Chain A
Amino acid sequence: MNAPARLAVVGFALALAGALATAVLDLPAAAVDLPAAVAENLSTSGVEHPVTAVLLNFRGYDTLLEIAVLLLALLGMLAVAKPEAVAPEPSAADPMLRFLASVAVPLMILAAGYLLWAGAHRPGGAFQAGAVLAAAAVLLHLAGRLPAWASPSRMLRLGLVGGFLIFLAVAAALLAQGALLRYPPAHAGALILLIEAGLTLSLGLILAGLFLVLARRPASPRAGVGEEGKS
């Protein structure tokens, strides 16, 4: 790119940044005090942590659609992935990485369980726990302990959609209440824990799937991946 064009791009970017900053600073104060509204209704939400209350109770349908979008993304990848291009058998990684995986993965599963449980009363929750599970699966794959998913088995498919199906089933069962995902306060805590447990497992599988479905790789030049995994 020549100098005048580069200057123009930089100038445009600076102008855009300035306009955005001005717009943000000019925003009027919110008309509805949402934090106060959340704090007021927190006792009926079934959980004690306001973020989880918003994500799983007050705005539960947002989370329902989020998991649907993630599932769709993975379905799209499964549709375009060529099964024959995947090397199904895991290949040997170096011993350090394998040792690290065998030490870290049980701890990561434990941490995921803790995050899921902690989501009810402190920062944590299904998305974070699912991400930790997915990272454990990716680590296992890089260490050569977990094969790439050439074509997902029936159990795996069930696991992938399970969280979404549980969420949908709860939403459908509660439709008689007249509003989408309005839990009865007495059972809200248990229902949220059920949904979050399903979401954790499915999210872990889906996020790991984003990595493992396209992990097509012949067995021999895989050494480079092991090196990069450590960096």
Chain B
Amino acid sequence: MSLAFDALLALALLWSAWRSLATPDLTRAVVMFIVFGLLMALAWARLDAPDIALAEAAIGAGLTGALLLDALGAFGERRGGDRP
């Protein structure tokens, strides 16, 4: 059971990383990056490293995601108001 979960987690990590890099839509890339960060936090928790899991969830997914979304918003304004 836990092996299946780990395999699923590893696949989801690779998939979200690939989607985040490969998609041409910036908004989707940022959202996939946040998803990747949350999955990464799960992976750290599965590896018995709850300290790193906490830091990853808070900084990797939360703050970096917010910063990237803010950057997207700034880009959208510079292009004349339309969202990218």
Contact = CB atoms under 8 A, between A and B. Distances in A.
A225 B73 CA distance: 6
B72 A228 contact: yes
A131 B55 contact: yes
Given A207-B63, A231-B31, A131 B58 contact: yes
A143 interface: no
Interface of chain A: mostly helix, strand, loop or mixed? helix
B50 A224 contact: no
B29 to A, nearest CB: 13
Contacts of B53: 123
B55 A128 contact: yes
A173 to B, nearest CB: 28
B62 A224 contact: no
Interface string A196-231: 000000000001001100111110010011001101
Sort A-B residue pairs by CB-CB distance and give the 6 closest, nearest first. Answer: A131-B58, A123-B50, A128-B54, A51-B51, A123-B51, A228-B69
Interface of A: 51, 115, 123-125, 127-128, 131-132, 134-135, 138, 142, 207, 210-211, 214-218, 221, 224-225, 228-229, 231
